[in-house]
């Protein structure tokens, strides 16, 4: 997470050849990265100028109960036949390599990914983190709260499928663009999905 409000755009926006951004969201079987598992993950890729490059999303078999279906709407039958985390781990590492990891309360998404990688004996390489919740505190003082839905509403981003990994990742990418003054990107302009 960034320490406090961000006074300006991150260095990757300065055209220095940075690898861009990986906007991540996970849905999990509970709140604790130590006790619970990731049941859905999505990554939206943005280049250094915040232009969309692609996206990846998948349900995951958490090897146990899916947890709060009333929140993420994922049922046990939905994950039957879904890949296990170890099967998509190489793809995730490829998508995150050389990029800034962005999330709304990014430390939470990062902690879940870190634990999932640790469970399979693979260290998650250090990545710079950028939190849109912190950005929103500085750039959206009118937001009724700092949750993703309230920030999206304050930024005028419209309806999105909340508590789905891809829906949350897409709106987080748009929130990042809004807070950093990049032009909006309508959904039909997104690069093709990178789903497996």
Distance CA 31, CA 68 (A): 10
The pair phi, psi for residue 85, each rounded to 5°, is -55, -40
- The pLDDT score that the predictor gives to residue 139 is 95
What b-and-e string marks burial along 118-142, b requiring 16 or more CB atoms within 10 Å of the CB? eeeeeebeebebbbbbbbbbebbee
Q: Tokens at residue 36, please?
A: 């619970």
CATH (residue range 11-183): 3.30.420.10
Q: Say if residues 37 and 65 touch (Cβ distance below 8 Å).
A: no
| Residue 1 pLDDT | 28
Q: What is the layout of strands, in order, in the sheet containing 21-28?
A: 52-59, 38-46, 21-28, 100-103, 129-131
pLDDT of amino acid 147: 96
Task: Convert the pLDDT of each residue in 6-54 to its tens digit.
Answer: 323 333 333 334 589 999 999 999 999 999 999 999 999 999 999 999 9
Given a cut of 70, the residues of the chain with pLDDT beneath it are: 1-18, 184-196
pLDDT of residue 196: 33
Task: Give the Cα separation of 71 and 62 in Å (integer).
Answer: 16
């Amino acid at each position: 997470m960034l320490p406090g409000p961000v006074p300006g755009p991150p260095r990757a926006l300065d055209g220095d050849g940075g690898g861009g951004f990986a906007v991540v969201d996970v849905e999990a079987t509970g709140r604790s990265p130590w006790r619970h598992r990731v049941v859905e993950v999505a990554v939206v890729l943005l280049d250094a100028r915040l232009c969309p490059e692609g996206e990846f999303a998948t349900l995951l078999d958490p090897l146990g109960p899916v947890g709060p279906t009333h929140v993420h709407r994922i049922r046990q039958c939905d994950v039957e036949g879904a890949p296990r985390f170890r099967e998509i781990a190489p793809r995730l590492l490829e998508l995150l390599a050389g990029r800034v990891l962005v999330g709304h309360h990014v430390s939470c998404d990062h902690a879940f990914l870190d634990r999932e990688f640790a469970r399979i004996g693979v260290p998650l390489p250090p990545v710079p983190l950028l939190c849109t919740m912190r950005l929103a505190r500085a750039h959206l003082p009118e937001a009724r709260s700092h949750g993703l839905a309230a920030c999206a509403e304050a930024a005028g981003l419209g309806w999105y499928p909340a508590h789905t990994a891809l829906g949350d990742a897409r709106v987080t990418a748009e929130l990042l663009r809004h807070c950093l003054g990049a032009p909006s990107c309508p959904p039909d302009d997104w690069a093709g999905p990178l789903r497996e």
